[in-house]
Amino acid sequence: MIKELENKEHQQENLLRSIINLFVYNNCDYFIYLDVKQNSYTMFSGSRSGTPLPPSECLDYSTEIVKYANDFVVPEDREHVIREMRLKRVIEQLEQYEKHVIYCGVEDPIRGYTRKKLEYRYYDRDEQMVLLSRTDLTDLYLEQQRQQKELQEALKTAEEANRAKSQFFSNMSHDIRTPMNAIVGFATLLEREASNKERVQEYTEKILNSSKLLLSLLNDVLDISQIESGKAVLNISMISILELVNELDTMIRPQAQARKQEFHVQIEPMAHRYFSGDKIRITQVLMNILNNAVKYTPDGRRIDFMVSSSIHWADDQGEICFVVKDTGIGIAPDFVKDLYEPFSRESNPVVDRIQGTGLGLSITKDLVELMGGVIQVDSEKGKGSTFTVRFRSQVSEESSISPRTEGREGQKAAAAGYLPLQGIRVLAAEDNELNAEILSELLRIAGAECEIVPNGQAAVRRFQELQPGGCDLILMDVCMPVMDGCEAACRIRQLDCEQAGTIPIIAMTANAFTEDVRKVLDAGMDAHLSKPVDVERLISTIRKYVYS
């Protein structure tokens, strides 16, 4: 009898020690000492056990688990928990495995939703004694849910990016093939109708128009790629407001006049003449908007271009505001939200007849935001659209343009117009034979004398041989074998001869990004023309620098 009592006491001590160890090492809410034979249990809980708790003593485990599950387990887990906590199921699992684990959600009256882990283990297999522990996994569960949500969002983003990429290439394929088909088709017709002067002129004009559309598309795609990759570089300088507006007017007014549109420019009185910004990018933004105004405004209607500014005297910061208002076809309200999406174009018969890629406004918005500005649109279908672009920037009464550049700017009137290049001697560095042939012929037609060399090293050597005064201007390709154009320009500027520091050097290259322009200017060149070169721009640029 005494021996039996001692054994029972020893068992109780072992049980207590096991429970204490489990509390310490497992940070559990509670433990239940379950007597399977008697269908009863005793619960041990700690000071941080949480809620809700089952009764500390129970003589009917099977009934209590159903009641507890119905009262506290979340509905989606309830049936599963009741099934897995039944004694028959517990014993089946423990006979097969070392432990039986159940995960479930429990509604805590204080904390709300909590995540729990129920774990059964044999304490005494022979006597059918089982220990059940409940551990709180809420923090871990919430962290896993957060990570899972992030993964799902990342997957969704990746899927959307893949869809966008597929759509992008689909649109690109279509938009590139359209002008390419026109170029190939009219080139074929041109070959067959070579003796028909009127047809030759008509087909040539259509080939040129299609080429310009194709080039515009490729430039837009490059701009989008550069902006999205974070590689777009801003070239900040002081910009003359009046000069910027005059240049835009010069480019847009002929287009408007060709369609008998009224193009009105209004500049409000300003407290300053210059503001800081990237002139090339700002010009690109405003040209995109103005070109759209001309394209989507019917013949004979009105387009207004308004410029205003305000100044904050405390920090020499000003706000420059450009407004383009047209009386065109307007934008449908349900399309405004998609207006700046790449390749998005409103679907209606009028828009479908107008050439465009759907990239211009997407690039415009990206560039405006890249420069810290804002763009807004107000449009009414059938009545027209108003685009407003605002930039906040440093303002000044003085320009930071170098004396050499100022001198040339002052000669713009003399260089205006597209006159022949009679008597101008040009040295051109171009490694591509086809490009060299085209350039040489264009300059010959314009009246210039042109000598072509195949690389930068040859350009430096030939320039020295032509001294003194045997050359009026150098056209320099950038990417060439032996010596590139930038290195050649640097070497020419360092030569000890009369024209080394003053000879105009103009880069002609397919590299058209802002950093490419900056690179050629840093190398000592005077200007940058991107290929394929517009003939009128080439001639006017040559005249500008030769006669300045």
| Secondary structure, 3-state, 507-537 | EEECCCCHHHHHHHHHCCCCEEEECCCCHHH
Res 15: pLDDT:
57
Res 526: pLDDT:
95
CA angle 208, 213, 217 (to 5 degrees): 145
CA–CA gap between residue 216 and residue 212 (Å, rounded) = 6
CA–CA gap between residue 306 and residue 291 (Å, rounded) = 15
Structure tokens at 156: 């969704």
Q: What is the CA radius of gyration of the chain?
A: 39
3-class DSSP state of 345: coil
**Torsions phi, psi for 132 (to 5 deg):** -115, 125
* DSSP assignments along 17-30, one per residue: HHHHHHHHHH-EEE
CA–CA gap between residue 34 and residue 340 (Å, rounded) = 67
User: What are the residue ranges in the chain where pLDDT is below 70?
Assistant: 1-27, 46-51, 164, 167-168, 170-172, 174-175, 178, 271, 311-316, 343-358, 397-420, 512-513
- For residue 93, CA distances in Å to 51, 88, 101, 116, 124 come to 27, 9, 9, 19, 15
**Torsions phi, psi for 159 (to 5 deg):** -65, -40
Domains of the chain plus CATH, in order, are 1-143 (3.30.450.20), 160-229 (1.10.287.130), 237-394 (3.30.565.10), 425-547 (3.40.50.2300)
CB 440 within 8 A of CB 450: yes
CA–CA gap between residue 64 and residue 72 (Å, rounded) = 12
CA–CA gap between residue 96 and residue 216 (Å, rounded) = 72
Res 5: pLDDT:
52
Strand pairing of 302-312 and 262-267? parallel
Give the total residue count for the chain. 548
Structure tokens at 432: 């591509």
- For residue 15, CA distances in Å to 29, 42, 101, 122 come to 17, 12, 21, 12
| Secondary structure, 3-state, 102-122 | EEEEEEECCCEEEEEEEEEEE
Res 401: pLDDT:
39
**Torsions phi, psi for 263 (to 5 deg):** -115, 110
Give the DSSP H/E element, type plus range, for residue 75: helix 75-85
Q: Percent of the chain beyond pLDDT 90?
A: 41
CB 480 within 8 A of CB 455: yes
pTM of whole model > 0.75?
Answer: no
CA–CA gap between residue 373 and residue 322 (Å, rounded) = 11
Res 38: pLDDT:
94
Nearest to 449 by CA among 466, 465, 427, 430: 427
Give the DSSP H/E element, type plus range, for residue 323: strand 317-326
Residue that is written with structure tokens 């721009």 in the block = 537
CA angle 358, 360, 363 (to 5 degrees): 115
Angle between helix 279-295 and helix 360-370 axes, rounded to 10 deg: 150
Handedness of CA 121, 125, 130, 131 (dihedral sign): negative
Hey, what amino acid is at 304?
D
Beta bridge partners of 30: 45, 134
Strand pairing of 449-453 and 384-396? unpaired
Structure tokens at 379: 């449009």
CA–CA gap between residue 201 and residue 193 (Å, rounded) = 10
Strand pairing of 112-124 and 99-108? antiparallel
Res 162: pLDDT:
78
Nearest to 415 by CA among 428, 426, 424: 424
How many other CB atoms are found less than 10 A from the CB of residue 398? 9
Hey, what amino acid is at 449?
E
Give the DSSP H/E element, type plus range, for residue 441: helix 433-445
